[in-house]
Amino acid sequence: MLGNWQMRRADEKMALQQRVAAALSAPAQVLDARPVDAASLVWHQLRMHGRWLREDAIYLDNRPFEGRPGLYVLMPLQLADGTVVLCNRGWLAHDVRQRALIGNYETPSGQIEVEGVAIPDEQRFLELGKKAPGQLGAIWQNFDFAQYQQVSGFTLAPMIVRVDGGPDDGLIRSWPDRGAPFEARIARNHGYAVQWYAMACALLAFYGIRHVRKRYS
């Protein structure tokens, strides 16, 4: 039963992987006003027009790239109707000797076009000790929608848009394969299922051998 449950979990993730692949391959959706159903936009390619709010940016720590320490630059984009969409603009090298220092990067002014893929959230890491209160313009260990909305005053759509392409601004936008997390989780479920099936077979063999010995002893 436990092995079958793990196989069902793997099947559910495979189905989700297929839906994500279909969403990513669909034409980009234009998002220039408040989304009616933001959840339906997750994993879709989006095209937006707005202006960056640099003063409300935050930086996610412990995001290495090719073995180098760095940060993710999360910055809100304000659309024409005032809607605010939080975007991950890319990776920025981090000076580990001066952890509070943010490296240089450029932010275009005025109205711009931004393209990217909407994801539900950024990966979270274990935080030891009491969680520090977040501040705008500061480095955060993990992103928290509720905390960011509290300190910024914005009402965010429940998604983060990972920006693709764009001008050379000092940020690196080389995102990991978007199907990789699903493949790893599916493989893990299959591995657990094999372990449960092997344990069941071992127990069956043990009781079978014991029964035979008891019967013919």
Strand, helix or coil at 113? strand
Give the pair of three-digit tokens for residue 113. Answer: 């076009």
Angle at 37 between CA 36 and CA 43, to 5 degrees: 130
Buried b or exposed e, range 29-43, using 16+ CB within 10 angstroms:
eebeeebeebeebbb
pLDDT in tens, the chain (217 residues): 888 887 887 777 676 666 666 666 667 777 876 655 667 788 888 999 999 999 999 999 989 898 888 999 999 999 988 889 999 999 999 877 777 788 899 999 999 999 999 888 888 776 655 565 678 999 998 999 999 999 999 988 888 999 998 888 999 998 876 655 667 777 888 888 888 889 889 888 888 888 777 777 6
Concatenated DSSP letters of 132-194? PPP-TTSEESS--HHHHHHHH---B-S-EEEE-S-S--S-B--PPPTTHHHHHHHHHHHHHHH
The predicted pLDDT at position 152 comes to 93
Which residue reads 């994500």 in tokens? 20
Q: What is the DSSP secondary structure assignment for residue 158, as one 8-state letter? A: S
